[in-house]
Amino acid sequence: MRRVTMATRDELVVAVRERYANSERRGKTRILDEFVAVTGFHRKHAMRVLRGEQTTRGAPRPARRLYDEAVRDALIVIWEASDRICGKRLKSLVPLLVEAMERHKHLQLAPDIRARLLAMSAATIDRALRTVREHAGGRSRRRAAPSLAVRRRVPVRTFSDWHNPSPGFVEADLVAHSGPSASGSFVQTLVLTDVATGWTECAPLLVREQNVLTEVLTELRKLLPFNLLGLDTDNDSVFMNETVHDYCQATGVVFTRCRPYRKNDQAFVEQKNGAVVRHVVGYRRLEGLEAATALARLYATVRLFVNFFQPSFKLAEKERDGARVRKRYHRPATPCQRLLADPRTSQQVRDRVTALYADLDPVRLLSDMRTAQQQLVDIADRSLVPTSVSTDALPIEEFLAGLRIAWKDGEVRPTALPKPKQKRGRRRPDPLAKVIEQLHTWFTAEPWRTGRELLARLQVEYPGTYGDGLLRTLQRRLKIWRSEIAHTMVFGAMHSRQPENRSRAESG
């Protein structure tokens, strides 16, 4: 039976005490039985409370210190001699350490102090050394993560625990668009994938914050063709907090989580992280409001194209024979087809999805996706090399004609193309800038000279100015000059022979 709080017990005592005092013996017995059953008090204690003999609780016990400052000082010496180990380990070491230190005359303890020191428990040792550890700069005890209490209240659901749920139970995950560095603030994508149908919704999160997450989740619930019945997440602190937990309770959504470090528990959404988000958005770093807005425009088109025109596989069963695993999949189908084929889908949802599908043009959706992808790339690469590709949407006829020959250009997704490399300029001033013309004249006159010979000649011309450390710089400069000479010798000769060949062809 659930115990009532102490405040409720106090109110109950005030309400029952007068009636208990004015009742007869049989009435007192009945009141006492009910009072004990509700409060959980011992019967004798309940009688004293109702008679008013005990009106206060929690009075401090009289001080009874067994270990005075002398014992504490001896304990500090022992603790320092043990290299500041914890109380549990020090408890086992105290007898050995005291005996060894007394034997070598490092410590002399009175018999009563020695006896009390040996009788101290590990908890008492830690308690006595608490202030000493803090002053000595020791590490404080690690506190449990704030999300730990929420994780204990959220049940675990593994991959094998789904058992063909109805549409509305989704897995959620975050995809970071941090690029090569995870430092600073960057945009993240919240991905929701329905377990039954594979229906996927994506939305950008400008910042990684639990209130922003619940607001975005509210907007995604409006886009889902069915009601959100369950939310299964990983153990990330952005999900495991009181805000998200209370939000799910208030909206009637079943909140579950996967096991830590077991990504296969969320296989449905993990698949979409790569097949949808990374495939469409790529791996560039996205930060700022402008990038988040462009990403939201891209997802507005992606959700229609993926859910209505992108078939996917779904695992039907899996058998393990020793080390070999056999998997059987259902026939590929789009999330829309799975939703309409599910007998648990209501007629209202069917009408809504069918009406939406009737107005969709897959070629126009793909064209809008390409335009939105190019805009996102331009925003992400703005600090590098400006692109010359127009971000204006192509006419649908021109885009359709380009689909026939798009394969000749290789990869056409702008987000899949690598970032243009920014040419790195010289970071330090050129140490040979004042004599570069003179060095080039020497090289032109005698191109067979080595870098060491030219540097020695330069040191004779300018004593004390150019040290031996410039040898590698000069050798790199000579390498460039020699490449230019070789290029001129090869292609210059070809260009010089072209008029001669042309005149022969004309005469022939």
Handedness of CA 85, 90, 95, 98 (dihedral sign): positive
Is 80 exceeded by the pLDDT of residue 62? no
Work out the pLDDT band at 502, boundaries 50, 70, 90. Answer: very low
Question: Are residues 271 and 337 both part of a single domain?
Answer: yes
Whole-number mean pLDDT of the chain?
84
Contact 299, 202 (CB under 8 A): yes
385 — pLDDT class (breaks 50, 70, 90): very low
Question: Among 30-39, 142-151, 279-288, 347-356, where is mean pLDDT lowest?
Answer: 142-151
Contacts of 262 (CB under 8 A, 6+ apart): 158
pLDDT tier at 64, thresholds 50, 70, 90 = low
C-beta of residue 189 within 8 angstroms of C-beta of residue 282: no
Instruction: Tell me the pLDDT band of 318, cut-offs 50, 70 and 90.
Output: confident
Residue 377 in domain: no
Indicate whether 78 and 16 sit together in one domain: no
Identify whether 425 is part of a domain: no
Six-digit token string for 169: 């139970």
Does position 10 have pLDDT exceeding 90, yes or no?
Answer: no
Residue pointed to by tokens 């043009």: 361
Do 154 and 203 have their domain in common? yes
Is residue 97 domain-resident? Answer: yes
Give the orientation angle of helix 436-445 with respect to helix 451-461, to 10 degrees: 130
Boundary-marking domain end, from 358, 387, 408: 358
Rounded Cα–Cα distance for residues 496 and 484 (Å): 17
In-domain check, residue 157: yes
Residues 342 and 485 in one domain: no
| Domain co-membership, 226 together with 352 | yes
Same domain, 170 and 304: yes
Q: Given CA atoms 214, 216, 220, 222 in this order, what sign does their dihedral have?
A: positive
Q: Which two tokens stand for residue 409?
A: 């250009």
Lowest mean pLDDT, pick from 55-64, 99-108, 294-303, 328-337? 55-64
Q: Do 481 and 449 share a structural domain?
A: yes
User: Using 50, 70 and 90 to split pLDDT, how confident is the model at 180?
Assistant: confident
Instruction: Kindly state whether residues 34 and 100 are assigned to the same domain.
Output: no
Does residue 463 sit in the same domain as residue 501?
Answer: yes
Q: Cβ contacts of residue 367 below 8 Å, gap of 6+?
A: 393, 394, 396, 399
Tell me the residue range of the domain where 85 lies: 69-136
Pairing of strands 315-321, 254-257: unpaired
Tokens standing for 337? 């087809």
Q: Is 285 inside a domain boundary? A: yes
Same domain, 131 and 213: no
Please say which residue of 297, 323, 358 terminates a domain. 358
Q: Is 492 within a domain?
A: yes
Query: Would you state the pLDDT for residue 6?
Result: 77
As for how many domains the chain has, the answer is: 4
- Residue 188 makes CB contacts below 8 A (sequence gap 6+) with 174, 175, 176, 177, 204, 205, 208
How is residue 59 written in tokens? 């009075």
Same domain, 194 and 258: yes
Please give the biggest Cα pair distance in the chain: 142
pLDDT of residue 26: 87
Last residue of a domain, one of 338, 358, 378: 358
pLDDT band of 398, cuts 50, 70, 90:
confident
| Phi, psi angles (nearest 5°) of residue 194 | -75, 130
The domain spanning residue 335 has which CATH number? 3.30.420.10
What average pLDDT does this structure show over 254-278?
Answer: 92
Together in a domain, 210 and 259: yes
Q: How confident is the model at residue 493 (pLDDT cuts 50, 70, 90)?
A: very low
pLDDT the model gives residue 143: 63
Of 275, 284, 277, 308, the C-alpha closest to 374 is 284
Residue 114 in any domain: the answer is: yes
In a domain, 387, yes or no: no
Structure confidence at residue 506 as a pLDDT band (50, 70, 90) = very low
